[in-house]
Structure 1
Amino acid sequence: MRVGIASALASPDRPQVVIVLTDGFTPWPEQSPSCRLIAALIGDTPPDPPGWIETVRVPVRPAEDCGPSHLQEGLADGGA
């Protein structure tokens, strides 16, 4: 992950925010980059990244919860 983050920060059009999607099992940069870093940690038990990384946890649902019938249920109850 640190290579991708460094590459993004080395671009001529430097980002203000870098967002990464990961299972968390990655080598993180050793220190906070010069921009806001947000990690979407995918899975039920990903390891915690360094404390200076903002995190969003994305649990994995069984495939049967994501099929067309699930979408129809969401539409039937107004998307709730």
Structure 2
Amino acid sequence: MGGGGTDLRAGFAAALRHRPDVIVALTDGQTPWPRRPPSRTVIGLFDRPGTWSEDSEYVPEAPPAWARLVQIGDRRVRIMIV
């Protein structure tokens, strides 16, 4: 499963060509982010639990500085709203 290679900068660029009102990206967070916030974007980030056995060295990238994070309960689910 997986293996890296995700780059949401390319995904945002492709989505923004269509001039959407909202972009929703579901990710584990381990990706390069655009330097500036894209327009009207909502991103769901789902942290992997500490018991993840596929890759014990897995450490997700920090969300970009331009993001506002909202934690939902104790389920380790974070929603990033831009």
TM-score for both structures, normalised by structure 2? 0.52
4+ long deviations beyond 3 Å: 54-59
Secondary structure of 1:52's aligned partner: coil
RMSD across aligned positions (CA): 2.6
Larger Rg: 1
Secondary structure of 1:19's aligned partner: strand
Q: Greater share of helix residues, 1 or 2?
A: 1
State the identity %. Answer: 42
Unaligned residue ranges in structure 2 (runs of 5+):
1-7, 50-58, 77-82
Unaligned residue ranges in structure 1 (runs of 5+):
60-80
Q: Decide which of 51, 58, 69 is 2:65's aligned counterpart.
A: 51
> Greater relative contact order (Cα 8 A, min sep 6): structure 1 or 2?
2
Equivalenced residue count is 58
